[in-house]
Structure 1
Amino acid sequence: MKQVKIHSEYIKLDQFLKLSDCVPTGGMAKALLQENLVKVNGEPEDRRGRKLYPGDRIEVEGEGSFEVAAE
C-alpha cells in the first residue's frame, strides 16, 4: 500500500487520484469513478468531491491501494 501525504485537513477524491498519479486529468478521474473502479475504505465510490482524510484507504482497479497520510 502506497501512502500519499497531504498538506491540508482533507483532499477531494478527484484531486487525490491526480496526486497519486492514477490519472493525469480531472476528466479522466470522472470517467474512472463513473466506471465504479474506485473504492474508499472498502466501499465503491463515484463522487468526485468525496472528502478524504488521513487514514482513509483508496483502492483503484489496475493501479493499486493507497492510504491518505498527514504530513
Structure 2
Amino acid sequence: MTADEPVDESPDEAEPLRLDHFLKQRGVADTGGQAKLMIQAGEVKLNGVVETRRRKKLSPGDKVEVHGKKLFVE
C-alpha cells in the first residue's frame, strides 16, 4: 500500500468503541483522564455491573450507567 491509495475503513474493520472514549464522547467526562478516574473509582456500570476496565470494548446494545444517568451504545 502506498500513501496515494485510499484507506478502506469499513465499519466491520473499525476498532470497537472503548468505555473511556464513550464517556468522553457522550459528555459524561470532560477528558480521557477524568473518564479513567471515574471508571477506576467504580462509578461506572456496564450492563448493570460495575466496570473498572477503562479499555473495555463496548458493543451495540450495551447500557452504561454513571451517577444515575443511563446511556445506550448504538
Report if TM-score (shorter chain) is over 0.5: yes
Q: Which has the larger radius of gyration?
A: 2
Corresponding residue pairs, total: 62
- The equivalent of 1:28 in structure 2 is 34
Paired residue for 2:72? Answer: 67
Structure 2, gaps ≥5 residues long: 1-10
Q: Under a length normalisation based on structure 1, what TM-score does the superposition of the two structures give?
A: 0.79
User: Normalising by structure 2, what TM-score?
Assistant: 0.76
List runs of 5+ in structure 1 lacking aligned partners: 1-6
Partner Cα distance (1:58, 1:32) in 2: 13
Asked which structure has the greater RCO (Cα within 8 Å, sep 6+), the reply is 1
Runs of 4+ in 1 over 6 A off after TM superposition: none
Query: Which residue in the other structure is 1:3 paired with?
Result: none
**Paired-residue identity, %:** 45
